[in-house]
C-alpha cells in the first residue's frame, strides 16, 4: 500500500487543483506536486488561488486530511496513480513545443516504479502519448483529457463523461476505475482518437466563435444591428439555437489547440487558420471602427474587464491586453479595470467611468451590466448592457 492514491503533478493550476480537490472530496488520498511554492502556501491555508465555483468549501474540508502538498517531484514514488497536468504551449511560430513535454517525462522517469499508472491529463499534440509510453518502458501510460470549462470544474468533473484511452486493457481498466470515483459515464477511445477528440472539441468552439465574430464585423461594416439579426436567427428556431454570441475569443486553450491541429495537418487546417485571423483580428476591427467616427488621439479609452472571460480572474491569453496595446498607440490615454484581477496599473471601475470618453467592455463581468454609462461611447460587442445604455460603434 502506498501512502497516497493519486499524485497530481501540476496540481496547483486551473485544471489540476479542481481535479485534486474533487478526488480528495470523494475520499481519495491525493498529493499535489507543484513547483510554485507561493501557490502551495495559499492552498495550504485552505484558500483557492483563483476563482473556481464551489471549490473553496471542499478545499477547506480536505486540506491536510485527504489533500496534501509538495514542491518535490519525487513524491510520485508514494502514489499508485500519477496524473500529469502540465502546460503544453505553442512557440512563437505557432508550433507545439514537443521537446518541453518529453523533457518533463525524462525528469519524471527515474521516480516511477512498476505497478504505477501514469495518466496524461494535459492537452497534447497527436502521437505524444505513444511517444511517452515508449519512453517510460514498462510503466503504463493512459491519456484521459481534461474537458472542463474553467469556473465550472467542480460541477463538470462529476457530470461530464470522462474519456479514457491507453495502450493495454489492464491499465485502461485501472484508469477507468479511478475516474468512476467521479462519474460512471466513461468513454473509451484509442490514444490518438482521444488526443484528437480534445483538440477537435476546443477547435470546434474556436471556429464557432469565429463565425459569430465574422458575422458581427460584417453587420457593423454595413451599419446593421447585429443583435437584431441574432435575435431573429435564434428565436424559436432550433437549427440556430447553439449559435454563439460574438466576443473577444481567447484564453489558454482554444487558440493554442486550434494551432496544434494546424501543425498536425501540415498547416492544411485552413478553417482553423481563418478562425485565428478573425478572432485575433477583432481588437483591430474595434479600433478601426472607432477611428472612423472619433479622433482617438484626443480621447481617453477605458477597458472594463481584462480577464479572458466573464466572472474569471484568469488573464492568460486575454485579448483585452492586445486591445490595450493597440489603443495605447492610438488614444490620448488608456485605462484598465477588472473586478477580479489585481494589478497596480489598473484603476477602479468608477474612476474608469469618470475619466474615459470611450469605454470598451473587454470581459462581460456581471456587475458591468449595472453601471451607468450615461454620456459615454460604449462598445459592447457582448450585448451585455441593456440596449438603452449602449451606443453602436
Structural Rg of the chain based on CA atoms: 23
| Residue-level pLDDT at 94 | 74
Helices (H), the chain: 16-25, 37-44, 55-62, 98-108, 128-136, 153-159, 169-179, 191-221, 226-234, 254-264, 270-293, 319-330, 349-355
Which pLDDT band, with edges at 50, 70 and 90, does 202 fall under? very high
Q: How far apart are CA 120 and CA 14, in angstroms?
A: 16
| Residue-level pLDDT at 389 | 44
Q: How far apart are CA 289 and CA 330, in angstroms?
A: 12
Residue 25 burial (CB < 10 Å; 0-12/13-18/19+)?
A: buried
The CATH class for the domain spanning 224-389 reads: alpha beta
Residue with cell 494546424: 262
Q: What is the DSSP letter of 358?
A: E
Residues of the chain with CATH 3.40.50.720: 4-189, 224-389
Q: φ, ψ for residue 102 (rounded to 5)?
A: -70, -35
DSSP assignment of 43-71 equals HHTT--SS--TTHHHHHHHHBTTTEEEES
- Alpha-carbon distance values, 195 to 110, 146, 182, 211, 318 (Å): 26, 11, 21, 25, 25
- What's the mean pLDDT in 18-25? 98
Count the residues in the chain: 393
Which pLDDT band, with edges at 50, 70 and 90, does 100 fall under? confident
Which pLDDT band, with edges at 50, 70 and 90, does 87 fall under? confident
- Alpha-carbon distance values, 291 to 112, 299, 325, 362 (Å): 59, 11, 15, 18
Question: What rounded mean pLDDT belongs to the chain?
Answer: 95
The model's pLDDT over 30-79, given as tens digits with 9 standing for 90+, comes to 999 999 999 999 999 999 999 999 999 999 999 999 999 999 999 999 99
| Residue-level pLDDT at 393 | 62
- What's the mean pLDDT in 223-233? 95
Least confident range from 93-102, 160-169, 218-227: namely 93-102
Is 101 in contact with 128 (CB distance < 8 Å)?
yes
Which pLDDT band, with edges at 50, 70 and 90, does 93 fall under? confident
226-234 vs 191-221: helix crossing angle, rounded to 10: 130
Q: How far apart are CA 361 and CA 365, in angstroms?
A: 9
Cell output for 121: 491529463
Q: How far apart are CA 381 and CA 96, in angstroms?
A: 31
- What's the mean pLDDT in 280-304? 97
Residue with cell 496524473: 83
The CATH class for the domain spanning 4-189 reads: alpha beta
Residue with the larger pLDDT of the pair 193 and 87:
193
Residue with cell 479511478: 178
Amino acid at each position: 500500500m502506498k501512502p497516497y492514491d493519486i499524485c497530481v503533478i501540476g496540481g496547483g493550476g486551473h485544471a489540476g487543483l479542481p481535479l485534486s480537490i474533487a478526488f480528495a472530496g470523494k475520499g481519495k488520498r491525493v498529493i499535489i506536486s507543484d513547483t510554485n511554492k507561493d501557490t502551495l502556501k495559499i492552498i495550504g491555508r485552505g484558500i483557492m488561488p483563483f476563482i473556481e465555483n464551489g471549490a473553496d468549501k471542499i478545499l477547506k474540508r480536505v486540506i491536510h486530511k485527504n489533500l496534501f502538498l509538495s514542491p518535490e517531484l519525487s513524491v510520485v514514488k508514494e502514489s499508485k496513480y500519477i496524473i500529469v497536468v502540465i502546460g503544453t504551449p505553442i512557440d512563437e511560430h505557432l508550433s507545439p513545443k514537443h521537446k518541453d513535454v518529453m523533457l518533463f517525462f525524462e525528469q519524471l522517469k527515474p521516480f516511477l516504479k512498476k505497478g504505477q499508472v501514469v495518466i496524461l491529463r494535459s492537452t497534447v499534440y497527436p502521437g505524444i502519448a505513444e511517444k511517452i509510453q515508449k519512453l517510460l518502458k514498462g510503466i503504463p501510460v493512459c491519456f484521459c483529457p481534461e474537458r472542463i470549462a474553467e469556473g465550472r470544474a467542480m460541477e463538470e468533473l462529476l457530470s461530464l463523461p470522462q474519456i479514457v484511452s491507453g495502450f493495454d486493457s489492464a491499465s485502461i481498466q485501472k484508469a477507468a476505475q479511478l475516474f468512476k470515483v467521479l462519474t460512471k459515464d466513461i468513454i473509451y477511445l484509442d490514444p490518438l482518437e482521444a488526443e484528437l477528440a480534445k483538440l477537435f472539441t476546443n477547435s470546434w468552439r474556436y471556429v464557432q466563435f469565429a463565425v459569430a465574430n465574422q458575422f458581427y464585423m460584417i453587420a457593423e461594416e454595413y451599419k446593421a444591428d447585429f443583435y437584431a439579426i441574432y435575435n431573429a436567427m435564434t428565436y424559436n428556431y432550433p437549427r440556430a439555437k447553439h449559435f454563439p454570441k460574438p466576443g473577444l475569443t481567447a484564453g489558454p486553450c482554444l487558440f493554442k489547440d486550434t494551432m496544434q491541429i494546424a501543425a498536425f495537418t501540415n498547416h492544411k487546417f485552413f478553417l482553423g487558420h481563418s478562425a485565428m485571423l478573425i478572432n485575433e483580428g477583432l481588437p483591430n476591427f474595434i479600433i478601426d471602427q472607432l477611428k472612423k467616427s472619433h479622433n482617438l488621439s484626443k480621447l481617453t479609452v477605458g477597458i472594463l474587464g481584462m480577464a479572458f472571460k466573464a466572472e474569471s480572474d484568469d488573464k492568460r491569453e486575454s485579448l483585452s491586453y492586445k486591445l490595450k496595446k493597440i489603443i495605447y498607440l492610438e488614444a490620448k490615454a488608456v485605462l484598465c479595470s477588472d473586478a477580479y484581477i489585481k494589478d497596480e496599473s489598473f484603476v477602479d471601475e468608477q474612476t474608469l467611468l469618470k475619466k474615459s470618453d470611450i469605454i470598451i467592455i473587454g470581459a462581460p463581468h456581471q456587475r458591468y451590466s449595472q453601471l451607468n454609462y450615461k454620456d459615454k461611447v460604449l462598445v459592447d460587442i457582448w450585448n451585455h448592457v441593456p440596449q438603452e445604455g449602449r451606443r453602436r460603434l
